[in-house]
Amino acid sequence: MDDIVQQAMVKWPNVPDCYGWLGLDTRGQWCLRDDAAQAAGPFASGLPGAKGSVLQHEKLLGFIARNYASDAQGRWYFQNGPQRVYVELQCTPYIWRVDGQGAVTSHTGVPTDVLACYLDDAGWLYLDTPLGFGLVHTADMERAAEQVERGAWQPLEVRTDALPTRFGYVTSPQANPATH
């Protein structure tokens, strides 16, 4: 976490949490959800306009990535100075990129190792890592399939609806707010 963020948390310890304004989609893109996007429906609903607008400012994306974490309830957030901005997840807390050698990096730019591989009932591939659990980016499925074919990853079957409970994350903190 950035030093300036930690300093702001000490200086202003009682800033209310923010819900519903930030989402992470299945392609690892951060989405800003203004009032209109939130009124259009839940982030993961697929309803027109509910996703919001994809953030593209590189410095902002880097700031979010460096200050992305989870709380004890499995709700993921971006620590924006003294305020926690809870993230609506379209699928999982991480989106994994796989390079040609099978190296795995999170959507936040952090390299990691693969502990286990899972295939759900919809045919989506997930990885469990020391960083956490996440979906393999669709653009990297060919590289991921190569890892499976050569035996480096052995997918275990898992039900899609069981993922959040099994891997300890909340897809919609807005629907499940709690105090921290």
Q: For residue 23, what are the contacts with CB-CB under 8 A and spacing of at least 6? A: 30, 31, 33, 43, 51, 52, 87, 88, 89, 90
So what's the pLDDT on residue 14? Answer: 79
Residues 119-138 have a mean pLDDT of 97
Strands (E), 17-162: 18-24, 30-32, 53-54, 68-70, 76-80, 83-89, 94-98, 104-106, 111-112, 116-120, 125-128, 133-136, 156-158
Residues 11-26 have a mean pLDDT of 86
So what's the pLDDT on residue 121? Answer: 93
For CA atoms 132, 116, 30, 58, the dihedral sign is positive
Is pLDDT of 179 > 60? no
Is pLDDT of 5 > 70? no
Q: Can you give the residue ranges of every domain in the chain?
A: 3-89, 94-164
Residues 93-100 have a mean pLDDT of 97
So what's the pLDDT on residue 3? Answer: 73
